[in-house]
Structure 1
Amino acid sequence: MSKIGIVAALAAAALTLAACGSSGSTEPGGGSGTAEAKTLTLWHYEGATSAMGVAWADAIKQFEASHPNVKVKFEEKGFEQIQKTAGMVLGSDQAPDLMEYNKGNATAGLLSKQGLLTDLSGEVAKRGWDKLLSPSLQTTARYDDRGVMGSGKWFGVPNYAEYVMVYYNKDAFEKQGITVPTTYDEFTAALDKFVKAGITPIAVGGAEYPAQQIMYQLALSKAQRPWVDAFQLYKGKTDFHGPEFTYGATTFADWVKKGYISKDSAGIKAEDMGVSFISGKFPIMVSGSWWYGRMSSEIKDFKWGTFLWPGNQLSAGSSGNLWVVPEKSKNKDLAYDFIDITMKKDIQNKLGNAGGVPVAADPSAITDEKNKELIENFNKLSAQDGLAFYPDWPAPGYYDTMVAGVQELINGSKAPDKVLDELAQPYNDNLADIGN
């Protein structure tokens, strides 16, 4: 789930924009058979300095150069804004031609089931995008008639991958005499050492996605692939009071009590979490590869690095967010052309060199050693079938349920078993709705 560059407090009116371009289909190449100017309306929520923002800005330039009669009207939206309003906007005449959207059953799957997204299966085969994406990366692009990912038609195309890792301040680690942990016990020993020195070790954003991903990482430490498939793909029954979620919730609450996580973090947004790590306030941040480019460009006062969550075979991660073409897009062929450009080697290489995780880059073209490490760690996870998706995916509205539940763990307002009851209810209600 990529969230950097969230635009805070955008007016609701920003969602309304004049319909652009002519109706009906256009010729690939920007309608070269006519002098009529067209507009491709594009929405995404990646910051300008993020790896995706850098690569896609270049893709816009390439698109306009190859489509001389077309102007790209790019509008940066907030992740939360699109998350909450996509169904309403895409059902209206104000839908963009192409947009970045969160993948998973609760998001892209729900919109596909509602008939709001274009079936891209024909374009995928025609343009060979399926040849560029491994089976694990294709999981989030395809949805069946129930809106469940992993099979069925293509309703989106990812052009990057992502995973959750541990960012760390090398200077802070060296000052405390801490080496990079390779086991879970070494990790908690490092956290204890920071607490003993009067330092809260982990920057956390409890008001948005980051805190729930920490709880999920803890649950995954006790999980195997069948558990993930049951929870995410409905290939079995999920027991919310089984060892996986019980360990995740109780240990997360325990981490707050131990001082690993601040009791004030329930109200912190992801952006503020990231800024606090970048400024050196916290020595550790657990979050996704979508932050990597920004860390590279903004951290000036200390050395930093990353490592995979110690001891886990499974980690939150997947393909990146999807390019989706709304069913009401007025320029679908242009949208397909733009997606195609983002899948080409030069844009993929730029994404990798900017600190992203490309899906179709030339490995020899990635020149930065830290970026190579980022991609190698992803490849390691992917090779061991370690991508476990994200905890908020399985059911519509589950993101807000997860945020609220983890906030209760941070505040201590509810016991872990009660929080797990709250997580189970909407999940099981959704299973009933889709006939599982």
Structure 2
Amino acid sequence: MRISTRRWAAVTAAALLTPLALAACSSGGSDSSGDDGADAKTLTIWHYENDESAMGQAWNKAIEIFKDEHPGVTVDLEHQTFEQIQKNAKIVLTGDDVPDVMEYNKGNGTAGQLASQGLLTSLTDVAKEKGWDTKLSGSLATTATYDENGLMGSGDWYGVPNYGEFVGVYLNDDMFAANGIEVPTTFDGFEQALAAFKAKGITPLAEAGAEYPLGQLWYELVLHYGDRTLVDDYQLFKNDVDWHGDAMTKATEKLDEWVKKGYIASDSAGLKAEDMGVSFIDGTYPVMVSGSWWFGRLTSEIKFNWSQTLFPENTLHPGSSGNIWVVPTNAKAKSLAEDFIDITLRPEVQDVLGQAGGLPVAGDVSKITDPKTAELTKNFTDILGDDGLAYYPDWPVAGFYDVIVSQLQSLVNQSKSPDEVLDGLQDAYESGKKDLLGE
């Protein structure tokens, strides 16, 4: 196992490719052809899970099983970061030095974009052969399939999810108790708790504006004021989105209000997700709004009493099936990659996910004995029961992740008003939507 940085050193030069040249590099179809690499002697895996996380533990178990069943094959595991893959995958995958299987973000602007550009292998036949299409159905399969325009929810299989995920609220119960503040169960109570902490000189919300967390908090607020119709319009383009309508306006103004009241630290615009997580783990902040992917690490590192709950009074939540395994078109060991993906769906791997709080898609939930893990799993089950998965704010169009980060940083810095932020988001969204739909 090794940490890889060498590929990214070449990305700056590769980025000089013009869009026309890049399109020429990726003009091939997505179906695999010729040798599928069944006789390959190395399987190269990229993922961005740390070893302490539920996913990291499960993928290590899958690698162990893969090695036992493929004794002549070397596994080359390369840890990347989410940001590296998010920003550079399109450029790297046009070359020949690519992984055989890679963890990647799902959605129109990420996996969908790569699939539509011919950079990912169609897994439709394999999904039928190995039964993935029946094991993963309904909303779990939404992020696995993409049409010719890269829109999720129909078309060929280009990825395989192995777990579920959602965004909720992590609470430092000891800080609440020490300050005599009641743990909130309503949205009004949540705001009252934020105000009470601030009145005691404690900034309540751990945040990170340089990466995904702040955008997910904003989206929680959009979902608080919005409904399923808005989600379908925003994510699936069923109708036009009213960017200055009730939900978008109230959410952005509420986030601006929280910034002005000091519920979010002024320096959080430049902080990354790791900074946010570490600050919650070390007890600096009483509240962190973020994803279930933190659960395993929090369990192993936190020394105080803590709990996890859903965003108060929301019936819709950021979340989906987890990140997906994809097989690049230029992979050299596709057959081995497919074997590895199949192993990650086996009960022995899925049960590792479940015990560590990874929300398995094919595990035995009754085997989860830890109370905190059972609580997390119940929260996810409740979301599924309410048809409450609303995906993520950056999914609809390519490049929208960076736009959300930039615009919300401006809100934290107070260099833009809520209306100006919404204008910036709308411009990028509408432009990306036209490009995606070929309008």
Q: Select which of 5, 8, 12 maps to 2:8.
A: 12
Tell me: CA distance 1:408–1:8, structure 2 relative to 1, closer, same or farther (3 Å).
farther
Q: Select which of 396, 399, 402 maps to 2:401.
A: 399
1:66 aligns with 2:62: no
**1:330 partner letter:** K
* CA drift at 1:8: 11
Q: Distance in 1 between matches of 2:305 and 2:7?
A: 38
Q: Select which of 386, 389, 392 maps to 2:388.
A: 386
1:299 aligns with 2:302: yes
* CA drift at 1:306: 0.5
Match of 2:19 in 1: none
Q: 1:340-376: CA deviations, max 9, x gaps? A: 1000111001011112111111012112111111111
Tell me: CA distance 1:400–1:358, structure 2 relative to 1, closer, same or farther (3 Å).
same
SS at match of 1:358: coil
Q: Select which of 409, 412, 426 maps to 1:410.
A: 412
Q: 1:137-175: CA deviations, max 9, x gaps? A: 111111111111111111100001100010010101111
1:233 aligns with 2:236: yes
Q: Select which of 31, 35, 51 maps to 1:24.
A: 35
Q: Distance in 2 between matches of 1:123 and 1:228?
A: 31
Q: Distance in 2 between matches of 1:154 and 1:341?
A: 18
SS at match of 1:357: coil
Q: Select which of 93, 105, 109 maps to 1:90.
A: 93
**2:255 partner letter:** F
Match of 1:155 in 2: 158
1:99 aligns with 2:102: yes
Structure-1-length-normalised TM-score: 0.92
**2:8 partner letter:** A
Q: How does 1:49-198 map to 2 (within 5 A)?
A: 49-198=52-201
1:372 aligns with 2:374: yes
Match of 1:34 in 2: none
Q: Distance in 2 between matches of 1:154 and 1:250?
A: 39
* CA drift at 1:431: 2.0
SS at match of 1:43: strand
1:270 aligns with 2:266: no
Match of 2:27 in 1: none
Q: Is the 8 A contact 1:8 1:78 kept in 2?
A: no
* CA drift at 1:9: 8.4
Q: 1:248-299: CA deviations, max 9, x gaps? A: 1111010011111111110011001000000000011000000000000111
Match of 2:337 in 1: 335
Q: Distance in 2 between matches of 1:384 and 1:394?
A: 22
Q: Is the 8 A contact 2:213 2:290 kept in 1?
A: yes
Q: Is the 8 A contact 1:99 1:324 kept in 2?
A: yes
In structure 2, the gaps of 5 or more residues are 13-33
1:352 aligns with 2:354: yes
Structure-2-length-normalised TM-score: 0.92
* CA drift at 1:104: 0.6
**2:433 partner letter:** L
In structure 1, the gaps of 5 or more residues are 1-6, 17-22, 32-36
Match of 2:51 in 1: 48
Q: Distance in 2 between matches of 1:12 and 1:361?
A: 36
Tell me: CA distance 1:14–1:168, structure 2 relative to 1, closer, same or farther (3 Å).
farther
**1:292 partner letter:** F
Cα RMSD (Å): 1.7
1:220 aligns with 2:223: yes
**2:347 partner letter:** K
* CA drift at 1:177: 2.3
Match of 1:246 in 2: 249
Q: Distance in 1 between matches of 2:148 and 2:35?
A: 27
Segment drifting more, 179-188 vs 112-121: 179-188
SS at match of 2:290: strand
Q: Distance in 1 between matches of 2:404 and 2:75?
A: 36
**1:25 partner letter:** D
* CA drift at 1:239: 1.1
Match of 2:28 in 1: none
* CA drift at 1:178: 2.6
**1:90 partner letter:** L
Q: Is the 8 A contact 1:296 1:355 kept in 2?
A: no
Percent of counterpart pairs with the same letter? 55
